[in-house]
Amino acid sequence: MRGNKLAWAGAVVLGLLAFAAIAAPWLAPHDPLQSSLPDALLGPSAGHPLGTDQLGRDVLSRLLYGARISLVIGFIAVGIAMVAGIAVGACAGFFGGWVDAVLMRFVDTMLSIPTIFLLLAIIAMVGPSIYLIMTVIGLTSWMGVARLVRAEILTLKEREFVLAARVMGASPTRLILRHLLPNAMGPVLVSATLGVGGAILTESVLSYLGLGVQPPTPSWGNILNEGRVALGVAWWLTVSPGLCILVTVLAFNLLGEGIRERFRS
């Protein structure tokens, strides 16, 4: 990836974003939950670089703390999706036969369900919470990973090093964990990188609809939702979180494309 400037740009942006999220208590100029009605809807200034919202809360401080929520949700949701997808794809590709048929029909069934409507239905029935959002996003986005892993396992299990391991008496578990999965992780890593951006975008959509992270906890989606009602008089309430979402998702996509090109070469 040494010559891929776009991938490096994405990596640098994500590194700065991660640093800002970790250092939010020191970088934030104000308490993100502190209200001050006399300061409501102030434009960008020296005291409030990105202005204030309807309750007089500093938008920059809320964005920095919101980055923590968005990144944690993205990484944990993708982690859940990776575990489920790798398990299903590895079993389907290695064992084949009726196991493959049953698991892949289940994957096809899950893919036929509109993800956003499934998310809305589950959250509406159970109630929104950060842990539920992470779990539901992860459990509704593993199908593509399962297909990738299955395809890689089907190719790899006929290679000479796998046949040699079989002859030496390696168990199916050892074959999968020690020989097949390590060699199938290239496409999975690309999918995970792209999936984090998708998970952040999904969380933002849910929070924008009022079914994601609940106020007063800041997330980019609910900051965007709060700014919607004041769009005509306070443009910074929607532009700032919108740009954060755009830049973050774009950075993850650029990094994922760079990794994909690296594995192709």
Tens-digit pLDDT profile for residues 170-219? 888 888 888 888 888 878 888 888 888 888 888 888 887 777 788 788 88
> Measuring CA to CA, how many Å separate 150 from each of 87, 134, 191, 259, 265?
10, 25, 14, 20, 22
Asked whether residue 221 carries a pLDDT value surpassing 90, the answer given is: no
Give me 261's structure tokens: 């090109």
As a whole number of angstroms, the distance between CA 157 and CA 31 comes to: 55
- Domain layout of the chain by residue ranges: 5-23+60-264
Maximum average pLDDT range among 34-43, 59-68, 133-142, 227-236: 59-68
Judge: domain 5-23+60-264, CATH 1.10.3720.10. yes
As a whole number of angstroms, the distance between CA 258 and CA 225 comes to: 33
Average pLDDT value over all residues in the chain: 85
Asked whether residue 260 carries a pLDDT value surpassing 80, the answer given is: no
DSSP 204: H
As a whole number of angstroms, the distance between CA 150 and CA 91 comes to: 8
Instruction: Provide the strand spans (E) within 129-223.
Output: none
Task: Note the pLDDT of residue 105.
Answer: 92
Taking residue 172's Cβ as centre, other Cβ atoms within 10 Å add up to 12
Task: Note the pLDDT of residue 130.
Answer: 82
User: Of how many residues is the chain composed?
Assistant: 265
Give me 95's structure tokens: 């064992």
- Spatial contact of 143 and 85, defined as CB atoms under 8 Å apart: yes
Name the pTM for this structure. Answer: 0.84
Tens-digit pLDDT profile for residues 10-49? 889 999 999 999 999 999 888 888 888 888 888 888 888 8
Share in percent of the chain as helix, strand, coil (round to 5):
75, 0, 25
The half-sphere exposure of 82 on its side-chain side, counting CA atoms within 13 A, is 21
